[in-house]
Amino acid sequence: MGFFDDLKKGFKDVSEAAKNSVEEAKAREAQRAEAGTLVSAPPQAQPTGNALQGKTTRARLMKEGDGYKLAFGTPNPVPFEDPRYPFPIGIRFNGFIVIKDENGFDPNSLDIDKTVMNAVDAGQAAIGKLSMQSCTYDHLPAGMHEIRKEITDRLQSIGVNCSAVQVASITADSHSRDKIKEWESKPDFEKAAELTAAGKAAPAQPAPVEGPTVTCTGCGTVCRAGQKFCSNCGAVLPQ
């Protein structure tokens, strides 16, 4: 047998050994499954440096300074009824839960997925309440306090004592922004008809302001002198 024949035989032997090794591993795995020792559920979160990760949300609990920060955010837009439009606005928000590293807090004891899902659910509930109060979507940032409080109270109810809740951003999704842009280009009579069909009254014209006035530089609304914020767009009024 020549050199090349020996080389081909060597490659064949290595290939057969690798194949047998794979088959043996599959057989051992099948035996463990039959014996009930093979777990198909996602693995438990394990420490990775200064971070822990959830199993389903993939949220990460990060060590930062003298505490921990856990990020949360809406996986899908939250429907929000704005009284100015005949269609719901999709709202996204995200932020952080801050937990101080004190009183023997063990990060491994925190159920990351449960905490994040409760934070998102509480934030959605707060946005729903603001919607029922006829708040407009672009004024939602002014309702940050209500959103933070709703999340804090919910987390306390499940035993998570966070030192702070930060809402980093709250915005309409891109699809909703496109619909709003299209809506704004329509004539007033079409807007009124669509609002009526959607069960929403067309916006009433504001009553004339008596006494000294100031005009909003943002939207042109005439407001009473002494007001700090515009009654239409919420912008800071000139003093």
CA distance 178 to 158: 39
Cα-flanking dihedrals φ and ψ of residue 38, to 5°?
Answer: -90, 120
Neighbours of 52 (CB within 10 A): 21
Name the burial class of residue 94, with classes exposed (0-12), middle (13-18) and buried (19+) by CB atoms within 10 angstroms of its CB: middle
Q: Cα separations (Å) of 72 from 24, 51, 61?
A: 43, 15, 10
Query: What CATH topology corresponds to 51-178?
Result: Tetrahydropterin Synthase; Chain A (3.30.479)
CA distance 187 to 8: 80
Q: Cα separations (Å) of 101 from 19, 27, 153, 195, 216?
A: 51, 47, 20, 51, 47
3-state secondary structure of 98: strand
Domain map (residue ranges) of the chain: 51-178, 205-239
pLDDT of the chain along its 239 residues, tens only? 554 455 445 445 545 544 555 465 555 555 544 433 333 333 333 344 456 777 888 888 898 888 899 999 998 999 999 989 999 999 999 999 999 887 778 888 899 999 999 999 999 999 999 888 888 888 888 888 999 999 999 999 999 988 999 999 999 999 999 999 999 999 888 888 899 888 887 555 555 667 788 888 877 788 888 888 777 777 788 87
CA distance 47 to 67: 16
